Amino acid sequence: MTTVLLVEDHTAFAQALTAVMGLTDDLEVVGHAHTAEDAEVLGSRLSVDVAVIDLDLPIASGVDVLNNMRDRPAAPRCVVLTASTDPAELGRAVEAGAGAVLHKSTDMAELLDVVRRVAAGDTVLPADQTSSWLRALAAERERTWQARTVGATLTARESQILQLLADGHGGGAIAEQLVISGQTVQTHVRNLLGKLGVGSRLEAVALGLRLGIIEQADHDR
């Protein structure tokens, strides 16, 4: 008998999965954790062969659960079952040691089959999908790194002005808001354009948003 721990915040879905696995002779759900903390407690208390983990959990994410499980002495095998389609997030799950990554729309028969195969020690990761997820993850890290590098070169004032530009303010409005002269605003803008290596305010805002140095303007005002 393969013991299964469900880490899923949707109780109804967890119960449905418990019912589905209850119909089989070889799979048994021994626990249901709603959060990453629950999973840690249950994981240490129960003897679990396979953990079926949702990535989108309240507080800590499913990737934290994966990392936590991997570091245990008798580490259970992990199947990620998620509604997420964010390739970078799926890439993180693969990196954290998931034996399989499935979407929640997967057919029940297929899900059961994958759980059995992962319990037997297989890794069920389609090569092409996995590589595209990992590429997305690498690209995301690259962006974060760039943002950190570029963000570090901007002064606090320049970041502030870039944010105000993103909020749709013109030079005059910025000068008024920061209580500095229009000339000073111009100088700051020129400097930050130079640092970002762009030719216009529009490009600077676009780059800032892409790199996450600034936030999207609040449009509901």
Partner 1 sequence: MALQCLASTTGSALTATPAQLGHTVRRDMVVTAVVLTVLFCVLAVLPGLQLAVDSPSARVALEALRLCVVGFAALILGLPAEQHPSIARNAFVAALVVIAAASALLGVVPSVAAEILGTTPAGVDRFYPWLASRYIAGLLFVSAGLQWPRLSLRAYVVASLLLLAAAELALFDVTAPRRALGASLEVPPLLLFALGAWLAARRAARSGAPLERWLALALLVGTFTQLQAIRQPEILGSVVTTTDVLRMISTLLLLIGAASQVRQMSRDSVGTVHLQRRDLEERDALVNALGGYVAREEAFRAVVHHELATPVATIRAYAHVLRSAPPADDRWTNALGGIVSEAEQLHALIGRVDELRDLELGAFSCTLRPVRALPLLRDIARFATTLSGQHHVHVRADDLRINADPVRLGQALRNVAANAVRYSPDGGRIDLIGEAVGADRYRLVVVDQGVGVDVDETGAVLAFAGRGRNAAAVEGRGIGLFIARRIAEAHNGHIDIEPNEPIGTRVSIEVERR
Instruction: Enumerate binding residues for partner 1 (CB under 8 A).
Output: 10, 12-13, 16-17, 19-20, 23, 56, 83-85, 103-105, 108-109, 165-171, 201-202, 205-206, 209, 216-217, 219
Shortest Å, Cβ 12 to partner 1: 5
Decide whether 41 or 202 has the Cβ nearer to partner 1. Answer: 202
Query: Closest CB to partner 1 among 5 and 55?
Result: 55
Indicate the residue among 109 and 127 with the shorter CB distance to partner 1: 109
Distance CA 127, CA 129 (A): 6
Least Å distance, CB 219 to partner 1, is 4
Minimum CB–partner distance for residue 17 and partner 1 (Å): 6
Residue closer to partner 1, measured from CB, 109 or 152: 109
For residues 207 and 145, give the distance between their C-alpha atoms in angstroms, rounded to a whole number: 14
Closest CA to 160 of 182, 185, 138: 185
CB of 75 to partner 1, least distance (A): 26
DSSP category for residue 218 = -
* CA distance to 144, 163, 186, 199, per residue, from 166 (Å): 19, 5, 16, 16
In terms of CB distance, is 24 or 47 closer to partner 1? Answer: 24
- For every residue of 167-212, DSSP letters joined together read TT--HHHHHHHHT--HHHHHHHHHHHHHHHT-SSHHHHHHHHHHHT
| Residue owning tokens 């089959």 | 113
Alpha carbon 205 to chain centroid distance? 24
Minimum CB distance to partner 1, residue 123 (Å): 23
